[in-house]
Every structure is written in structure tokens, then in C-alpha cells.
Structure 1
Amino acid sequence: MPLKDVLAACLVMVLWGANFVVIDWGLRDVPPLLFLTMRFGLVLLALPFVPRPDAPLRSVLAVGAAMSLGQFGLLYTALALGMPPGLASLVLQLQAVVTVVLAAAVLGERPALLQWTGVALGVVGLGVVALGRGGHVPLVALVLIVGAAVSWAVGNVLVRRLEVPGGLGLTVWSALVVPLPLLALSLVLDGPAAVGHALTQLTPAAWLSTLYTAVLASLVGYGIWNRLLQHHPASEVAPFTLLVPPVGIAAAWLVAGERLTPTALGGGALLVLGVALVVLGPRVRAAVRVRTGLTG
């Protein structure tokens, strides 16, 4: 991969890693589901300029219901309930582990032994994180983040099963299913008075956070990511996502002073190692087969 593409991939990881801190920043002034409504409402402004994915609309909306509505709805709520953004960036990577399990059960895929080892390490790491999260992290917030990871994994499997092309088009068009349900849910849970007050008293922090999450994290991030996937094998591009947790933890430490407990850090390291085995397993197996073929 050329150096400029490596740097582009690293830029996306910085945008996505810092996104957790930016979301947490914006949630100080806006209820979580309303804040997410604003984000995807802004994303939908790009709809006239982005071609619709070559797939039935119901399939696109099904992916959006899992990847955007479910994942981010749970993520934003968890952050609003006290989940530290750095720890959230770690636990959310559990999606790669859950994706392997769901793909094996639903699609009949056969993971490599290294990937199953990664699944086991990921589960153990999550358990250690849960035990070492510290008293300041509500258990319900951790459960919601795990739910967000599962929802993301369901979206991944839907993309494979329904053969919906990924990338920027899928990000924008699948957002159709997000704003109205979340706005309705926010009105029910937060109340019309709280929603009206938040919308009429939007702070610069709320606007900047919304712009960052919609434009930089969603449109720019996925635009670059899609271009990289079009020009390089997924096995070369996907491993860059392992940079998201370190960036998220570093950003949370620099901006918010977040410090994880040693036990949580150890569990996070196990989880990331598990994800690394899941992501890199097929590549390692292919390399071994090539080497065996050459030497045999």
C-alpha cells in the first residue's frame, strides 16, 4: 500500500478514535437520542449527492437499523449514562469477535483456528474489563456498549448476507431509518419540554460535535475508507481499525483526563489482541498456505 494511502487510513483511525470524546462532549448539552437524530439528519443532507447502493431499499434500511439506529443509539445512551469514551472505544471493538460467531452460525462461514482463539481471548478480555471497570462506570452502561457491539456485528452479517455494497452510499442511504424513530423515542423518554429546550438552546459545543460526527466521522471517514477498500484488499485495510482503541484512549486521556484502571487496561489489551487475531487470522492462514505450497 502506498505511503499516502497508509497515511489516509491512519487519518481515518484518528477521526474515528477521537469521535468517542467528541460525542461525549456534545452529550453534555443534548439528550443522547436527540443528539443522534441531529447527527444523522445532517448526514441525510448528502442524500441527493450520493448514489443509492445497488440493492433493495429494504435491505439498505435493515443494515441501517442495525449499524446506525441500534449501534449508535446504544452507544450514545451508554456514554450519557457515564461510560468513559476511552473505555467505550475499547469495548465496542468486540463487534469483530461477535461478527465471527454470527457469521459462523448464520452464514456457515468457517473461521480459522486463530480466529476462534481470538474470539476466546476477546470474551475473556471483556470479562476482565467488566471486573476492573471501577465503581465510576455503571454496569448498565457497559451492557449497553456490548449491545452496541452486537448490533454492529448484526449489521456486518446483514451486509454479507444481503450482499449490500458498503461504503459512503450505504452510510448515507441507510441513515433514512434513523432520525424519525429516534426523535419519537427521545420525545417519549426525555419529554417534549426537554427536547424543545435542547433544540432552542444549542450550544457551540453541541453544534461543533454534531458537525464533527456527521461530516468528519461519517462522510469524510467512510468516504476515505471506501476508496481504500476499492483500491486495496480488505485484508490490508481492515487491520488499521486496531488503531481506533489506542487513539480513543489517548484522546480521552488528553482531553478529559480519563484514566483506566490497570485491570481494565489489561482486559482491554486481551480484547484488542483477540480482535487482532480475528482480523488477521485469514491473512495468516493464507500466508501459511502459500508458504506450504512453495516449500512442499
Structure 2
Amino acid sequence: MKPADICLAVTVAVIWGLAFVASRIALDEFSPALMTALRFAIAALPCLFVPRPKVSWPTLISISFTLFLGQFLAQAYGIAHGVPVGLTSVIVQSQALFTIGFAATVFGELPTRMQTVGIGIAVAGMVMICGTVGYDFSVGAFAVLMICPISFAIGNLLLRRAQGVRMFDLFAWLCLAAAVPLFAVTLAGDGPQPTWHALSHMSMTGLLCMLGLGGVSTSVAYWLWGRLLRDYTAAQVVPFALLVPFVGSAASSVAFGETFGPLRLAGMITVVGGIAVMLLSKRSQAIPKLA
């Protein structure tokens, strides 16, 4: 990769890591549904200037509901109900584990030996993390948070159905498809009056967090990431995502004084290590067709 593109990949990872901290701050003012709706409403503003990509509405909605709505709503709920930001950033990256598993089940893409080893390592780390659940946050919050990587993984696979379209246009319309139902969920769950009160009494800190989440972390960062994936192989680009949990954990430690017990810290490092083995190994092989 060119040095400039390496810097871009690192920048995207840093932006996504800091986004977890911005989400935690924004959730002091907004409900999980409203924060997620605002995030995608801001990121969908380019729809005013770019045409809808040549992707069917069912495909567009299915990708949006998994890759964006399901992933980020579960993430916001988990953070709002006490799951530490640093731990959340690690759980989100475990989507690589589920993506490989779903790809093997749906597309017959058998994981390589090294990917299998990586899956085993990551699962061991998740078991270690599960051993710490129930002390500083509830089992229910952790269960909802686990929807996040699963939804993320399904969205990754559905994204294959949108080939040959401009990434910036696609992601803008995916954001729009997520924002509309999220506002409906917000009005139904929070009520019109509390929703209006939260919007009308938004602080400058809340506004800056939402602009960062919607305009920078979602719109700009996803566009840059898609551009990198267009110009380079996934094996060259995707490993940079491993920086995200480290940035998220470090930023959370500075911003909120977040600390990790020995078992949880060991589990987080083990999960990231397993993901690294999976991402840095060769691509999975498809199951040979029988004659």
C-alpha cells in the first residue's frame, strides 16, 4: 500500500475507535434509538445530491437493517446500559468470527486451518469475557450487545449483493434506509414530547458528538474505507481494523477512567489475537462441488 493510503487506513481506525467514546458522551443526552437515528440522519444528507444506486429496495433495506440499524442500535443500547466502551469495541470486532462462520454455512467457504485456529482463540477469549459478565453490567445488556457483531456479519455478507456501485452513494442511501425506521422506533419508544425535548435542549457537546458520529465516523470514514477496499485487497486493508479496539480502549481509559480486571483484559487481548490470526491468514476455500 502507498504510504498515504496506510495513513488513511490508520486514520479511519482511529476515527472509529474514538467514535465509541463520542457515543458514550452522546448517550448522556439521547436515548439509544434517538442517538442512532440522528447519526444516520446526518450521514444520509448526501442523498440530497447523489442518486440512489442501482440496487433493489429489498436489497438496500436488508443491508441497511443489518449492517447499520441492527449493529449500531444494539451497540448504543449496550453502552447506555453499562457495558464499558473499551469492551464494546472489542465485541464489535468479533464480527470477523461470525462473518467467517456464516460464510462457511451459507456460501460453503470453508475456513483455512489458520482461520480455524483463530476462531478457536477468539472463542476462548469470548468465554473469558463472559466470565466477567454480571458484575459491572447486566447479562441482558451483554446479550443485546452480542446482536451487534452478528448483525454486522450478516450485513457484510449481504453487501456482496450490491456489486458494481459507487460506495459513497450506496452508504448514503443505506444510512437513509436506517434513519427513517429509527425515528419511528424513537417516537414509539420514547414518545414525541421527550424526543422533542432532547432535540430542543441539545448541548453543544451533544451536537459536536452527533456531527462527529454522523458526518465523520459514518459518512466520511465508511467512504474512505470503501475506497481503500476498492483499490487494495481485503487482506491488505481489513487488518487495520484491529487498531479500533486498542484506540477505543485507550480513549475510554483516558476519558472515563475505564479499567479492566485481569480476566477481562486477558479475554479482550485473546479475542483481538484470534481475530488477527483470522484476518492475516489466507482466504477461506469454497467447498469443492461433487461430480
Map 1:42-61; keep pairs closer than 5 Å: 42-61=42-61
Q: Tell me whether 1:77 sits opposite 2:66 in the alignment.
A: no
Does residue 23 in structure 1 map to residue 20 in structure 2? no
Amino acid at match of 1:196: W
Cα distance between partner residues in 2 of 1:166 and 1:273: 33
SS of aligned partner of 2:258:
coil
Question: Is the contact between residue 63 and residue 174 of structure 2 (CA under 8 Å) also seen in structure 1?
Answer: yes
Deviation, 1:165, is 5.0
1:279 corresponds to 2:257? no
Gapped runs of 5+ residues in structure 1?
A: 286-296
Letter of the 2:153 partner, please give it: A
**Shift of the alpha carbon at 1:120?**
1.8
Task: Please tell me whether the aligned partners of residues 171 and 223 of structure 2 are also in contact (alpha carbons under 8 angstroms).
Answer: no
CA distance in 2, matches of 1:54, 1:190: 35
Q: How does 1:1-296 map to 2 (within 5 A)?
A: 1-133=1-133, 135-161=135-161, 163=163, 165=165, 167-282=167-282
- The 3-state SS of whatever aligns with 2:146 is helix
Q: What residue is the counterpart of 1:290 in the other structure?
A: none
Higher helix share: 1
Contact 1:53 1:164 in 2 (8 A): no
Distance in 2 of aligned mates of 1:151 and 1:188: 23
* Amino acid of the structure 2 residue aligned with 1:109: E
AA matched with 1:214? G
Superposed CA offset, 1:190-218 (max 9, x none): 22332121112111121111100011101
Displacement, 1:177? Answer: 2.0
How many angstroms does 1:67 deviate by? 0.7
Percent identity between matched residues is: 34
Contact 1:60 1:164 in 2 (8 A): no
CA-CA distance at 1:41 after TM superposition: 1.0
Which AA in structure 2 matches 1:272?
V
Letter in 2 for 1:167: M
Deviation, structure 1 residue 65: 0.7
Quick one: distance in 2 between partners of 1:220 and 1:123?
A: 32
Decide which moves more: 2-11 or 153-162.
153-162
Cα offset for 1:237?
0.7
Structure 1 residues 242 and 220: alpha-carbon distance in aligned structure 2, compared to 1, 3 A threshold: same
**AA of the residue aligned to 1:256:** F
- Amino acid of the residue matched to residue 250 of structure 1? A
Letter in 2 for 1:43: A
Describe the shift of the 1:131–1:112 C-alpha distance in structure 2 as closer, same or farther (beyond 3 A): same
Give 2:189's aligned amino acid: L
Inter-CA distance 51–238: structure 2 relative to 1 (3 Å threshold) = farther
Q: Aligned partners of 1:221 and 1:142: how far apart in 2?
A: 27
Unaligned ranges ≥5, structure 2: 286-291
Supply the distance in 2 between the matched residues of 1:166 and 1:265 (Cα, whole angstroms): 40
What is the Cα deviation at residue 188 of structure 1? 2.4
Shift of 1:51: 4.7
**Separation in 2 of the partners of 1:164 and 1:134?**
45
Matched letter for residue 191 of structure 2: G
1:283: Cα distance to partner? 6.0
3-state SS, counterpart of residue 282 of structure 1: coil
TM-aligned CA distance change 1:229 to 1:51, over 3 Å: farther
Secondary structure of the equivalent of 2:260?
coil
Q: Could you tell me the TM-score, scaled by structure 2's length?
A: 0.92
**Alpha-carbon distance in 2 for matches of 1:195, 1:97:** 37
Q: When the two structures are aligned, how many residues end up with a matched partner?
A: 285
How far the C-alpha of 1:158 sits from its partner, in A, is 0.9
Deviation of 1:161 (Å): 5.0
Match for 2:141: what amino acid?
A
